[in-house]
A and B are shown apart, each in its own frame.
Chain A
Amino acid sequence: MKNVSEILVDRILEKLIENNSIDVKDVEVYKFGVETTLLKALHYTSYFVIALCMNKFFEFAIIFTIFYIFRRNTGGYHAQTRIGCYLFSCVVIFLSLFATEFSFDWWGMMTVSILDLIILLILSPIQHSNRKLEAEDIAYFRHRLKIISLVFLIVYAMTTGMRGMYLIELYTIGVTMVTVLTILGKLQSIKQS
């Protein structure tokens, strides 16, 4: 039996075919497109609401940017169901914003960030069963992660030079969030194999 989101996706696809906006032979790929677009819209709206409720929109923008740039190249943990993933993601956003209430010393943050990068470079990319990666994709994402890590370190050093300690804290929370999800993703893939 189809759930509400599957029915909604099917209705949208039917309308797009009726309007001749997509070809019938492309239904499979557009089904994927519609589903990810709707899920993203729901998730991002919820994160904005959480950030606004916590009055931490600036923090959210920095942490989420760092997180998203890395996550596109590392992969990591995904819950098995849509609702599970939604709730888990909202909790992660809430916890990362809540972590900004605490202050950490620079050496501690620097050590954690370096360890995070080392772990990410070793473990990534984490392959999900719904997203197959070819060998050339893996090499490409690894290469891109190395460049991003280098740029991250340069920005980190420049921000330290400008004494932007609060920003350093936000960078550290963002990269630590990615690392935790990458480790969980690795454990998930070991468990499934």
Chain B
Amino acid sequence: MKKGLSQLFVRILDKNIRKEADSVCVGFGYQPYMPETAQKFKRKKK
């Protein structure tokens, strides 16, 4: 159960990172430092 929740959370994180890599910035709020690996995230996944 705990493992399942973790994996679900990681899936949400994956989608979020991909979305941010495909945007100029986070829509609202503080812009955290985006590492180079995140910028390549979408392209690596495809």
- Whether A76 pairs with B25 at a CB distance below 8 angstroms is yes
Q: Which single residue of chain A is at the shortest CB-CB distance from B32?
A: A35
- Chain B residues with Cβ below 8 Å from A61 are none
- A68, B38: Cα distance in complex, Å: 21
- Whether B10 pairs with A21 at a CB distance below 8 angstroms is yes
In residues 1-46 of chain B, which contact A (Cβ within 8 Å)?
2-3, 6-7, 9-10, 12-14, 16-17, 20, 22-39, 41
Q: How many residues of A sit at the interface, in one of the four size bands?
A: 35 or more
- Whether B30 pairs with A32 at a CB distance below 8 angstroms is no
- Chain B residues with Cβ below 8 Å from A84 are 30
- Chain B residues with Cβ below 8 Å from A111 are none
- A22, B6: Cα distance in complex, Å: 9
Contact of B3 among A19, A39, A134 (CB under 8 A): A19
- Whether B27 pairs with A85 at a CB distance below 8 angstroms is no
With A19-B3, A19-B6, A39-B29: A72-B23 Cβ-Cβ less than 8 Å: yes
- Whether B10 pairs with A126 at a CB distance below 8 angstroms is no
- Whether A128 pairs with B16 at a CB distance below 8 angstroms is no
- Whether B2 pairs with A79 at a CB distance below 8 angstroms is no
Q: Which single residue of chain B is at the shortest CB-CB distance from A9?
A: B32
- Whether B24 pairs with A74 at a CB distance below 8 angstroms is yes
With A21-B3, A22-B10, A82-B30: A32-B24 Cβ-Cβ less than 8 Å: no
With A22-B10, A33-B14: A131-B29 Cβ-Cβ less than 8 Å: no
- A127, B24: Cα distance in complex, Å: 7
Stretch in contact with the other chain, from A23-31, A97-105, A153-161, A165-173:
A23-31
- Chain B residues with Cβ below 8 Å from A19 are 2-3, 6
